[in-house]
Amino acid sequence: MTGEKLFFDSDDLAERHFDAATDLGEPGRFPYTRGPQASMYRGKLWTMRQYAGFSTAAESNKRYRYLLERGTTGLSVAFDLPTQIGMDSDDPRARGEVGNVGVAIDSIDDMERLFDSIPLDRVSISMTINAPASILLALLLVVAERRGIAWVNLSGTIQNDILKEYAARGTYIFPPSPSLRIVTDIFEFCGKEVPRWNTISVSGYHIREAGSTAVQEVAFTIANGLQYVQAAVERGLDIDSFAPRISFFFNAHNDFLEEVAKFRAARKLWAELMRERYAPKNPKSLALRFHAQTAGSTLTAQQPENNVVRVAYQAMAAVLGGCQSLHTNSRDEALALPTEESAKIALRTQQVLAHETGVTHYADPLAGSYEIESRTLDIAREARALIERIDAMGGAREAIESGFVQHEIGESAYQAQRALEEKRAIVVGVNEFADDGSATLPIMEIDESVERDQVERLRAFRARRTGDIAMALSSLDAAAREERNLMPLIVECVRQNCTVGEIVSKLKETFGEHRDQGF
């Protein structure tokens, strides 16, 4: 054993500075490092929320019912690219994209088909939608209304995180200022009308997928969250009227221990910063709750069966880190949208984790691990320093508009790619342990008829619809110019059978469109 280092020396301890007596804390208590609830999964399992959506509303509905029958406990809707940027399916710019990476939703007719026979008052619905989040939420609310379901009984989440779109993803419509206004409108409206709804899911997931480090993911996500809080406070909203419904969305990446520590650090940092800056009275305003999704960017087209293993480890990290809901990616997602069989394996991965591994017996299974605790403190400290740099620029919006955030993510992505090319980082089946054969999994294909049929349905809907379209859109335009809350007007547009594209086009007349600065 000569030469083996059995203990940390004094320099290590001075650098890592973890002290169990002062830093460990308790689950369910400030700063919530060990979890937002005292009992964690001993009281209730995380929501197994599988992300799905493709081609038409009817086909996606079949997948949702398939997943619910097999034990998923929450639905998460993936929308196609035209829907994400507020275009109707017959818009010439949507050609070739309709139904390809998610479901096409143009109208209330589509939304009713999407959730046919799904009990909206008993199943939690998450919608990964940002720039037109207000419209998709309005569509869901009107579907519930037509079924006689009170809005107060609806639970779920809209992503509604527009800032990260400018920095890392690109599905924006309006410039930042009106976009932040709409986010705040949703906070205000749902606080009064849909109180169980999570009005935003501040997303680090896409920041990490774009190439950020774990520290950057935490820092940029929390900085964005603080920007939304500040906008709402400046509107005059009481912090405790909206902060408890803010949720987060993080990436479950490959570095197992770092990921566990990252989730714990994010909770700690959010609680501390919220208390320091806004002093809320409700403890729920401080307790960060998050959804996790396994890392799509780590999935490989080569040897795709290995992705099942990757996803299982990433899911375990999310659970040990204390997620409130979880999506596990399917083995074939580097090749195409998941098949039913692949989606079932992904769900079964969560079920095995929940019911066979024993990790749910403990509120915070890795608590007290020197490596976990010290790394938690490291990430929190480093992320706070980065947030302070962003604060010095004026906040997250200014840091994004200046290109700072995009540059930092781009540099990290470049360094990660170099590490792969130089084999300082190994990806099994890609830059090491590669096979000569190609992937043999069956993959899903979207038929070209999907777009044609969706366009035909949209045109038929327009031809038979009733409602005062012009008056609803005119009222929306007036509210946009007068700076009134837009949500009631958007809901009324949906009631009058306006399409997503029509509502967005009207708002563009007032707000304009965002153009990327090319950072």
Contacts of 386 (CB under 8 A, 6+ apart): 215, 216, 219, 220, 223
Return left, alpha or beta for 155; rule: phi > 0 is left, psi -120 to 50 is alpha, else beta. beta
SS3 content of the chain, % helix, strand, coil (to 5): 55, 10, 35
Pick the closest to residue 160 from 133, 198, 193 (CA basis).
133
Q: What is the pLDDT of residue 2?
A: 35
**How many other CB atoms are found less than 10 A from the CB of residue 48?**
22
Q: Would you give the DSSP letter of residue 126? A: E
pLDDT tens string, the chain, 519 residues long: the values are 334 333 444 444 445 578 887 888 999 999 999 999 999 999 999 999 988 888 999 999 999 999 999 999 999 999 999 999 999 999 999 999 999 999 999 999 999 999 999 999 999 999 999 999 999 999 999 999 999 999 999 999 999 999 999 999 999 999 999 999 999 999 999 999 999 999 999 999 999 999 999 999 999 999 999 999 999 999 999 999 999 999 999 999 999 999 999 999 999 999 999 999 999 999 999 999 999 999 999 999 999 999 999 999 999 999 999 999 999 999 999 999 899 999 999 999 999 999 999 999 999 999 999 999 999 999 999 999 999 999 999 999 999 999 999 999 999 999 999 999 999 999 999 999 998 766 678 888 888 899 999 999 999 999 999 999 999 999 999 999 998 999 999 999 999 999 999 999 999 999 999 987 665
Distance CA 412, CA 386 (A): 14
For residue 480, the cross-strand partners are none
* Residue whose entry in the numeric block shows the structure tokens 């929320």: 49
Q: Would you give the DSSP letter of residue 339? A: P
Backbone CA torsion sign across 104, 107, 110, 112: positive
Contacts of 479 (CB under 8 A, 6+ apart): 485, 486, 489
Distance CA 99, CA 55 (A): 4
Question: Which domains, from first to last, does the chain contain?
Answer: 41-421 (3.20.20.240), 465-519 (no CATH)
How far does CA 375 lie from the centroid of its chain?
A: 24
Residue 518 structure tokens: 């090319």
**Consecutive H or E run containing 91:** none
32-57 pLDDT per residue, tens: 999 999 999 999 999 999 888 889 99
Distance CA 351, CA 312 (A): 11
User: What percent of the chain stands above pLDDT 90?
Assistant: 89
Backbone CA torsion sign across 417, 391, 173, 54: positive
Distance CA 332, CA 339 (A): 8
220-261 pLDDT per residue, tens: 999 999 999 999 999 999 999 999 999 999 999 999 999 999
Distances (CA, A) of 69 to 74, 293, 315, 346, 508: 12, 21, 22, 14, 41
CB–CB of 353/239 below 8 Å?
Answer: no
Distance CA 390, CA 97 (A): 36
CB–CB of 216/386 below 8 Å?
Answer: yes
pTM of the shown model: 0.94
Residue 35 structure tokens: 């979890």
CB–CB of 226/277 below 8 Å?
Answer: yes
Provide the strand spans (E) within 295-421.
325-327
Distance CA 265, CA 222 (A): 11
CB–CB of 269/248 below 8 Å?
Answer: no
